[in-house]
Structure 1
Amino acid sequence: MNFTKPFINEAWDRLGFTEPMPVQAEAFPPLLDGKDVTIEAPTGTGKTLAYLLPTIEKIDASNDRIQVVIVAPTRELVMQIQTVAQRFTEKGDVRIASFIGGVELKRQIDRLKKKPHLIVGTPGRLVELIEKKKLKLHETHMIVLDEADQIIDSGLTEAAERIIKHTAHEHQIVLVSATLTDTLQEWAAPFLKEPAHVQIERAVSAQVTYGYMLTTRRYKPELLRRLSHVDNVKALAFINNRSFLPPLRGELDKMKVNYRMLDSLKGKRERVETLREFRKGDYPLLITTGLAARGLDIEEVTHVVHFDLPESIDDFIHRSGRTARGNAAGTVLSLVTDEDLTHLKSFARQLGVELKELEIYRGDVIEKRIEDKRPVVKRPANKRGPRR
């Protein structure tokens, strides 16, 4: 690494990084040159560091104003970005602060008194602070919109626009997403000036096994129970709608399954604790919705489980990307009914991956065994010949 701030290079080495990942190698130069940049790359390819390190590099620590604002759609993603930023500024002089909803406003206003150089927050809370004239961004020269497609899908475009309009006249915008949809590009076009486009093609890791278990809706909780007993499992299961969480909780509690649920409506403290315990391995199964887990980076997830098959292939890719991070191996397991299987096979064809039918056998997830189907040989009856 050749950043001018020594603490960035020191952290890079200390954290065990070697060569930049492709998205980082392509994004660093235009970002350091001050260009607007759009970054389109699949989940798990290193997008956060792709924009974060050049951002930190360009901060003037002698200026006490907020110079960078990173906007993210969920509280979990905000906290995750802050954690990564703090790892790379631990031995430096760049100050970081985060701002999210569900936390007492006064406490977050107090954080602004410490004069952070870089802030990361959810759109609603940042706008709230701007309206109260507590957050001043007139010297902010860089704006990053992470998971920008989700900002659009969640109806947060007006808040994002207000944040951008309160920054310095001459600013740099970074748009980051796994998928740059037509809607997103149309919305962002007025804000971008001849942006450099960094695109990493969707790639299917050879380390991932894509499999399914053919089942019924009623039997799916039992499969989660059995999966939770697999040796060294760390499974992240997705359902499509949070209204399905309470009945599923009832089923799993009856079966005394060791699990937790990450619910987007729960308080910040509870959700942070849930994630901390899962990362530590205190329980083997975490159940969530796609929105609640958007952008989460959890190491060593062995299995991503599609308890409900998502409607779109992009959601399938987002969720599946939570396993096999870096060079690790992982399994993407879809629990499907007969009706779902056609939909899943369509995803597999589009991704160019082989689907395997799996089963849980003797405490492990394996390819479904072929039953012994040797033909039964009917032996002719022992016909006695005529008595002599």
Structure 2
Amino acid sequence: MNENSESTISNNEASFASYNLSSEITRALDTLGYKSPTPVQQQVIPQALAGHDITVKSRTGSGKTAAYGIPLCQMMDWEESRPQALVLTPTRELADQVKEDIMNIGRFKRIKAAAIYGKQPFDRQKRELMQRNHVIVGTPGRVMDHIEKDTIDLERIKYLVIDEADEMLSMGFIEQLEKIIRELPTERVTMLFSATLPQDVERLCHRYMNDPVDIEIGSPGDKRQTQIEHRLYRVSEKAKAALLQKVTVVENPDSCIIFCRTKDNVDAAAAHLERLGYPVNKIHGGMEQDDRNRVMNEFRMGKFRYLVATDVAARGIDIDRITHVINYDLPMEKESYVHRTGRTGRAGQSGIAITFATPFEDKFLNAIERYIGFELPVAEVPSDYAVGEAQASFDKKLRDRPVAKKTKGEELNADIMKLYFNGGKKKKLRPVDFVGTISNIEGINADDIGIISVQETVTYVDILNGKGSKVLQVMQDTTVKGKLLKVQKARTDR
């Protein structure tokens, strides 16, 4: 079955209400601003809810994470204490983003997700995996580490999602993927998502999936040419820095990612823009993970407008309203062009993708153009006159304070207070003990209680609907399972 059509359900007819989702899920979708399902969501959600294995080939920026995140949250059994779903992603940044998206969608159902990946303390992840987690999101290498050390429980996994499968292949994860799959229960639903579908990935599907439904939305050749304007500048390597300055002055982007091939090139380009006074930061694989997370979060929030990055920022990362992508270095792999330029023109918005190509890169450029199905239009280098005309407007935007962007979950989390209790598993406390105690407070019911994280010696409880202050006050003098616990508002970085 191949659903190679965006017209099976028109956007006018499509509605999340037609999927019979729980009130907790629909409430979260409403708060998150999900108005109507995108074409890939229209095709995937009913098939996933029906328990079918699925392969999905869909362009980046089409809403794939919610396409599987919504049915996963709908199908999770909150009372089950062992993980029920495993989502595999190629990069740490994508793992964090998927975890956040799933917890936002499942917020009112109290769905808890954990993200595990390399360059993070193993013992900290081990402790988190000992808690109740409905969904585990991870990179194949670190998931395999936990399997080998017997610190991850996969016996109750009913759903496997392989996200950005083509990137898994290019990063050499296929062998690890197969090892992980062999550790999972055979009775499960498997969903595979990819912007492209190389033969190795197709073979993986057919080997480990049960009569999968094949869904294809669009193709590289029709990659939203109406939404993304592509431009090519012919330039020598030495002239790139000067061209970058000219192009950014004339374009004057609101938000821009500049892609380089190596971390050294990222460092050099970022330093160049910093000397020019640009609001700029950088991200590459040589940085500590906490620093990478901080930079990505600040970019999402609009604290700076220019991000210089290697391809770690090209895969699946969803940041609203990126107006421009600049390929400062031409990607060596044709698929990377699709992933990089897919950071702009997302969710129906327009965007501009600008590529610099040197005279020695025609082979790679030709491969990209064959792959996407059209030639990149060659643009004239901006004249000094054009740059001079644009300079005043550019300088004004440079002086203006950036407008802070709202994150997806900001409105969702506005009425939530996280409470800290100084008691956990060692005091024989369980989530149900906190639900029972807190829901007995006058004016509070189970719908006002969010995610509960019971750890060895402490517990964190999300109180919803603006009722946190009341619960905090009452719980100062209320026992949980006969124990009076110290309670306070938790730090926001927990």
Aligned residue-pair number: 364
Partner residue, 1:267: 288
**Residue 140 (structure 2) aligned to one of 107, 123, 148:** 123
Partner residue, 2:233: 213
* Identity value in percent: 28
Residue identity in the other structure for 1:93: R
Residue 357 in 1 paired to residue 379 in 2?
A: yes
Residue identity in the other structure for 2:305: P
Partner residue, 2:103: 86
Label 1:278 to 1:225 Cα distance change in 2 as closer, same or farther (>3 A): farther
- Shift in Å, 1:299: 1.2
Give deviations 1:144-198, integer Å, cap 9, x for gaps.
1111111122122232223222222311111111011012112332111111111
* 1:136-215 alignment, distance < 5 Å: 136-202=153-219, 203-205=222-224, 206-215=226-235
Unaligned 5+ segments in structure 1 are 365-388
- Shift in Å, 1:222: 2.4
Deviates more, 1:348-357 or 1:313-322: 348-357
**Aligned equivalents of 2:183, 2:376: Cα separation in 1:** 49
Partner residue, 1:335: 356
Mapped contact 1:71–1:146 kept (Cα < 8 A): yes
Residue identity in the other structure for 1:25: Q
Partner residue, 1:25: 42
TM-score, normalisation: structure 1:
0.86
Deviates more, 1:299-308 or 1:123-132: 123-132
Q: Bigger relative contact order, structure 1 or 2, given CA contacts below 8 A and separation 6+?
A: 1
**Aligned equivalents of 2:87, 2:155: Cα separation in 1:** 15
Residue identity in the other structure for 1:281: G
- Shift in Å, 1:114: 2.2
* 1:97-112 alignment, distance < 5 Å: 97-112=114-129
**Aligned equivalents of 1:83, 1:304: Cα separation in 2:** 24
Label 1:342 to 1:95 Cα distance change in 2 as closer, same or farther (>3 A): closer
Unaligned 5+ segments in structure 2 are 1-15, 392-494
- Shift in Å, 1:256: 5.0
Residue identity in the other structure for 2:199: D
TM-score, normalisation: structure 2:
0.69
Label 1:342 to 1:131 Cα distance change in 2 as closer, same or farther (>3 A): closer
Partner residue, 1:12: 29
Residue identity in the other structure for 1:162: K
Residue 325 in 1 paired to residue 346 in 2?
A: yes
Label 1:83 to 1:90 Cα distance change in 2 as closer, same or farther (>3 A): same
**Aligned equivalents of 1:4, 1:23: Cα separation in 2:** 17
Label 1:119 to 1:342 Cα distance change in 2 as closer, same or farther (>3 A): closer
- Shift in Å, 1:341: 6.4
* 1:242-257 alignment, distance < 5 Å: 242-249=263-270, 251-252=272-273, 255=276, 257=278
Mapped contact 1:306–1:334 kept (Cα < 8 A): yes
SS of 1:81 mapped into structure 2: helix
- Shift in Å, 1:46: 0.9
